[in-house]
Structure 1
Amino acid sequence: MLESKELAGVRVRSPEGVKDAALCLKQAIVQRLGDWRVATTSNIASRRAMCDADGRLLATEVFGWTERAEDSWWRRQRLALESPLPTACRYESEPMWCNALGFRSLSPNPMLHRIDVSDFARRAFCNAAIVVPVHMPFGRIGAASVVPRDASLIDLERPFSEHGEAIGQLCRTFVTSHANVMDEPSRLPVGVTLSRREVECLRWAAVGKTDLEIGMIISRSRATIRFHMHNATAKLDAVSRSQAVFKAAQLGYISLGH
């Protein structure tokens, strides 16, 4: 059972508190699972590894990984593209466990069954793992993988069913608070308020409609559509129409792909 003091312990409140929070996360994992290691990233799209206030790698300083080639997953430049673990985090937001036979999540997710798990151990740097996706504001995705040191342990159904949700809460708290404290703020405007018409124009632009087409759809002139798009682009501090659409989606004004 997860106690509030455990969540408080893994929450990063300052750069100086990063290592202590990481140690609390490690201790919480060990108490539940035994000799397992944690791999964390605050952004699967970034090559930058998570560090403490002194720039030391948490992977080696706290979580038990080594600089050996078979261990140093953070040095794999194409890890986010090649490993099935970060791929799964793009399609799922709840904890899951995986091995060479595929992914199992708390709720059925057909997208996970489509992920390529061939050559799993080499590509994932493990034989099995409990994976925690960490979806943060503005479309950013972090992740934590909890991996048994015993490589022969590949059926994680029992530890996942017993501890998966608690591990999910602990890892999400650590990763999100680390990102808030240690990473540069996202370059997004603060206090933006788009008008209903600006949002409507951006929504149609997101599905590929031109200004002329949008004007025909909402019964406004092309000049009026350009006016609204220009205002929205300026408010969002965007340099182009496509960036305005992207930022509007990050801020939750519109939805892409629906």
Structure 2
Amino acid sequence: MSKHFDPSLAETITSVRFFDAEGIRPAAEAFRNFVRELSGLRTAVSHNISSRDPMRDSSGAVLASEVFGFQEDEDARWWQSPQLALSSPLTGACRVEVEPFWCNAQGYHTRIPNPLLDSLDLSEFRTRALTAAALVVPIHLPFGQIGAASFLSADPAQDDLSHAFANFSDALAIIARVFVHSYFAVTAQPRRDIAGAALTKREVECLRWAAAGKTNEEIGLILGLQRTTVRFHIRAASRKLDAVNRDQTLFKAAQLGYLGMIR
């Protein structure tokens, strides 16, 4: 890493922002180079921590291997592990944190304390995170989608990223968010159905009580509805939000601000 590297953040932002699929590869290379020059760290980035489909360039090449260099061994091919989003302490933290953090087996380190992180499981950290330590930027996108950029030491044994976090996390967060936002905008399928979704007052009421842990029967008693009517309203909300189950419906409703609308 060059100690005299003084990047122009504005120029770098321009280099990692793109407007069509052809711009993905050069933007990814600019992103990789910026991170390497600034901090000496490696970059692992995902536009959707819940998706099995990795980020790709316009030709279909996987960015993780072709640009970011994760191809030395099976452990390094993190995007090929479908259980990672469920088991990794990195992706778990991205669901409850919005600002950059770094973590290792000893805990999560943030600038502003977040008690939600305290309850997360850090056992077998190296095995589950596929790294000894990571500096992570959560990237919360429209419709409840969560992306993440993880920055890792080139030394597999390095488990302290406090220096990188203190000195580079703000710049890394800006660049990571611009890159992932661009990828989301270029590759996402049109979702006018969700963007224009308008939940009814009754749907929101049912979802709010469901989020509080109530069953359909209990919600029916509270609202004076039949259990089948409650189920109808929750399923209608699921269709509008393109959710596959009750949990995802509640998550998307919360992300879109519906659960705080009715008191």
Cα displacement (A) at 1:130: 0.5
1:24 aligns with 2:30: yes
Cα displacement (A) at 1:169: 1.4
Cα displacement (A) at 1:111: 2.3
Partner of 2:219: 210
Partner of 1:129: 134
Moved more, 110-119 or 56-65: 110-119
Partner of 1:251: 256
RMSD of aligned Cα (Å) = 3.3
Partner of 1:236: 240
Cα displacement (A) at 1:158: 1.2
Aligned partners of 1:54, 1:107: CA distance in 2, in Å? Answer: 41
Aligned partners of 2:140, 2:129: CA distance in 1, in Å? Answer: 20
Aligned partners of 1:192, 1:98: CA distance in 2, in Å? Answer: 37
Partner of 2:77: 72
Percent identity of equivalent pairs: 41
Unaligned runs of 5+ in 1: 216-221
**Aligned counterpart in structure 1 of residue 157 of structure 2, from 152, 160, 164:** 152
Cα displacement (A) at 1:134: 1.0
Equivalent residues of 1:233, 1:241 under 8 A apart: no
1:15 aligns with 2:24: no
Aligned partners of 1:210, 1:4: CA distance in 2, in Å? Answer: 51
Matched residue type, 1:253: Y
Partner of 1:33: 39
Q: 1:194 to 1:19 in 2, by over 3 A?
A: same
TM-score for the superposition, normalised by structure 2 = 0.80
Cα displacement (A) at 1:238: 7.3
Q: 1:116 to 1:245 in 2, by over 3 A?
A: closer
Q: 1:106 to 1:122 in 2, by over 3 A?
A: same
Unaligned runs of 5+ in 2: 1-6
Partner of 2:3: none
Cα displacement (A) at 1:233: 3.3
Partner of 1:219: none
Equivalent residues of 1:138, 1:250 under 8 A apart: yes
The CA deviation string for residues 36-88 of structure 1, in whole angstroms up to 9 with x for no partner, is: 21111111111111110111011111112115112111112211122211111
**Aligned counterpart in structure 2 of residue 138 of structure 1, from 140, 143, 146:** 143
SS of residue paired to 1:27? helix
Matched residue type, 2:236: T
Partner of 2:187: 182
Partner of 2:91: 86
SS of residue paired to 1:144? strand
Higher-Rg member (1/2): 1
**Aligned counterpart in structure 2 of residue 60 of structure 1, from 52, 57, 65:** 65
Aligned partners of 2:36, 2:222: CA distance in 1, in Å? Answer: 58
TM-score for the superposition, normalised by structure 1 = 0.81
Matched residue type, 2:12: E
Aligned partners of 2:71, 2:126: CA distance in 1, in Å? Answer: 17
Aligned length: 248
Q: 1:186 to 1:67 in 2, by over 3 A?
A: farther
Aligned partners of 2:26, 2:137: CA distance in 1, in Å? Answer: 21
Moved more, 131-140 or 197-206: 197-206
